[in-house]
C-alpha cells in the first residue's frame, strides 16, 4: 500500500464507500485518488493560503478534520487556528468527521526554552560528547544521563549549560527518561538516545513547534524516526517517537516507553517537520529484540526487527 502523503504511514482504516483513512495522521483518501505526490502538493497549496475551508471548497481526492490539518501544517511549516467556535470544539475533542476550516500562518520563528536531554551508556560517552558539542548551541541547556553508578565516568565533563548525570538504567527505560525529565529546568525537553541525531529540518523547526504546541495546549509532540541499519535506510518508517515533551510529562513502560499524554491523543500530536536519525547495525537490531523480550512480555516486536532489516520502500 502506498505511504500516506502527509506522514508516510502505510496502514489505513476502512471508513466505508471506499474511503480509507491514515491510521497515524487521519488524512482521508477517496477511491481512485491520484499519486501521493499530487495530494501532498494540493495540501501544501491550500495551507499556503491564509484560510482553508474543506467544506466550502472540498478537495476531489482527499479530506481531513482540523486535527489532521494541524499535523499537515507542521509538515509544511504552517500554524493553523480554528476558523470558528465549532472548529475550535472539534480541535479540543476531535472526532475526525468535520471537514477542516482554519486560518493558517507560518510557524513562529522563536519559541520557549528547550533543554536537550541525552541518555546512553558509558561506552557511548565519546559519541555523546560530540553530539552535545554540536547541538548545545541550539538549546537553552543540555542534560546527559549515563547508565552508571560511578561518578568518575562523568567527572569534569559538565560545563556552562551542560550537566552530566549518572544513574543505572536498571532495565527500565521509562524510569531513566523520567530522571531526565526531572532534571529539566525549561518548559520543554527534547530527548535523544546516544545513537540518534536530528536532521536539519527538525532542528530548525523545534522552536516554532514548541511555541505552537503551547498555543494549542499540547504536552507532547511526536516525530518520525529514520532508521539507518548498516548505513542503509530501513523500511521501519515513520517509527513515531514522542520526544518533545513539556517538562512535567512522565513516561511509562519499561521498554517501548511512551509519555503519558500520548495515551490521550487530544494532548499530543504528530509533527512530521523533519526526522530523528537513528544509526544502528544489523547485529544490534537482532540482539535488541532478544534483550527487549527479556525486559517485558510484549517487548520483542519481531515485526519491528523485520522492518528494520528490510531496505526502505516508498510503496
- Same domain (yes/no): 131, 263: yes
Task: Check residue 271 and give its pLDDT.
Answer: 98
Could you give the CA distance from residue 265 to residue 275 in angstroms, rounded to a whole number? 21
What percent of the chain is modeled with pLDDT above 70? 98
Q: What is the SS3 assignment for 161?
A: coil
Q: What is the SS3 assignment for 145?
A: strand
- Same domain (yes/no): 191, 211: yes
Could you give the CA distance from residue 288 to residue 300 in angstroms, rounded to a whole number? 8
- Over 90: is that where the pLDDT of 260 sits? no
pLDDT digits (tens, 9 = 90+) for 171-219: 999 999 999 999 999 999 999 999 999 999 999 999 999 999 999 999 9
- Same domain (yes/no): 165, 280: yes
- Over 70: is that where the pLDDT of 299 sits? no
- Same domain (yes/no): 74, 216: no
Q: Name the domain count of the chain.
A: 2
Does a structural domain hold residue 203? yes
* Cβ contact 75:36 at 8 Å: no
- Same domain (yes/no): 208, 97: no
Longest dimension (CA), the chain: 65
- Over 90: is that where the pLDDT of 239 sits? yes
**Boundary (domain end) residue, out of 80, 106, 132:** 106
DSSP-derived letter for residue 114 is E
CATH number at 268 reads 3.90.550.10
Task: Check residue 181 and give its pLDDT.
Answer: 98
Does a structural domain hold residue 315? no
Could you give the CA distance from residue 126 to residue 97 in angstroms, rounded to a whole number? 50
Task: Check residue 214 and give its pLDDT.
Answer: 98
- Same domain (yes/no): 142, 221: yes
- Same domain (yes/no): 184, 288: yes
Q: Residue 255: which pLDDT band, with cuts at 50, 70 and 90?
A: confident
Q: What is the pTM of this model?
A: 0.95
Q: Residue 294: which pLDDT band, with cuts at 50, 70 and 90?
A: confident
As separate numbers, helices (DSSP H) first and strands (DSSP E) second, the chain gives 8, 18
- Over 80: is that where the pLDDT of 297 sits? no
- Same domain (yes/no): 134, 247: yes
- Same domain (yes/no): 136, 264: yes
- Same domain (yes/no): 54, 141: no
Cell digits for 297? Answer: 512480555
Domain containing 97 equals 12-106
* Cβ contact 72:273 at 8 Å: no
pLDDT digits (tens, 9 = 90+) for 38-71: 999 999 999 999 999 999 999 999 999 999 999 9
Does a structural domain hold residue 300? no
Task: Check residue 82 and give its pLDDT.
Answer: 98
pLDDT digits (tens, 9 = 90+) for 129-155: 999 999 999 999 999 999 999 999 999
- Same domain (yes/no): 146, 238: yes
- Over 70: is that where the pLDDT of 80 sits? yes
Amino acid at each position: 500500500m502506498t505511504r500516506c502523503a502527509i506522514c508516510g504511514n502505510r496502514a489505513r482504516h476502512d471508513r466505508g464507500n471506499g474511503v480509507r483513512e491514515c491510521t497515524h495522521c487521519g488524512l482521508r483518501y477517496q477511491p481512485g485518488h491520484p499519486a501521493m505526490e499530487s495530494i501532498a502538493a494540493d495540501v501544501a497549496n491550500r495551507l499556503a493560503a491564509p484560510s482553508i475551508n474543506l467544506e466550502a471548497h472540498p478537495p476531489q481526492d482527499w479530506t481531513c478534520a482540523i486535527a489532521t490539518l494541524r499535523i499537515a501544517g507542521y509538515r509544511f511549516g504552517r500554524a493553523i487556528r480554528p476558523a470558528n467556535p465549532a472548529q475550535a470544539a472539534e480541535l479540543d475533542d476531535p472526532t475526525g468527521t468535520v471537514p477542516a476550516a482554519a486560518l493558517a500562518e507560518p510557524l513562529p520563528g522563536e519559541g520557549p526554552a528547550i533543554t536537550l536531554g541525552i541518555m546512553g551508556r558509558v561506552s557511548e560517552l565519546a559519541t555523546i560528547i560530540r553530539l552535545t558539542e554540536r547541538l548545545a548551541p541550539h538549546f537553552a541547556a543540555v542534560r546527559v544521563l549515563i547508565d552508571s553508578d560511578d561518578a568518575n565516568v562523568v567527572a569534569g565533563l559538565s560545563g556552562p549549560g551542560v550537566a552530566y548525570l549518572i544513574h543505572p538504567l536498571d532495565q527500565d527505560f521509562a524510569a531513566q527518561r523520567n530522571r531526565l525529565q526531572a532534571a529539566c529546568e525549561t518548559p520543554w525537553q527534547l530527548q535523544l538516545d546516544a545513537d540518534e541525531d536530528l536532521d536539519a529540518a527538525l532542528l530548525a523547526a523545534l522552536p516554532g513547534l514548541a511555541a505552537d504546541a503551547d498555543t494549542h495546549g499540547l504536552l507532547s509532540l511526536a516525530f518520525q524516526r529514520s532508521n539507518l541499519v548498516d548505513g542503509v535506510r530501513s523500511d521501519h518508517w515513520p517509527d513515531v517517537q514522542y520526544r518533545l515533551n513539556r517538562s512535567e510529562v512522565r513516561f511509562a513502560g519499561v521498554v517501548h516507553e511512551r509519555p503519558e499524554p500520548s495515551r490521550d491523543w487530544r494532548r499530543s500530536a504528530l509533527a512530521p517537520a523533519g526526522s530523528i536519525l537513528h544509526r544502528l547495525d544489523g547485529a544490534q537490531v537482532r540482539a535488541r529484540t532478544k534483550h527487549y523480550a527479556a525486559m517485558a512480555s510484549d517487548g520483542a516486536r519481531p515485526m519491528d526487527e523485520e522492518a528494520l532489516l528490510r531496505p526502505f520502500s516508498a510503496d
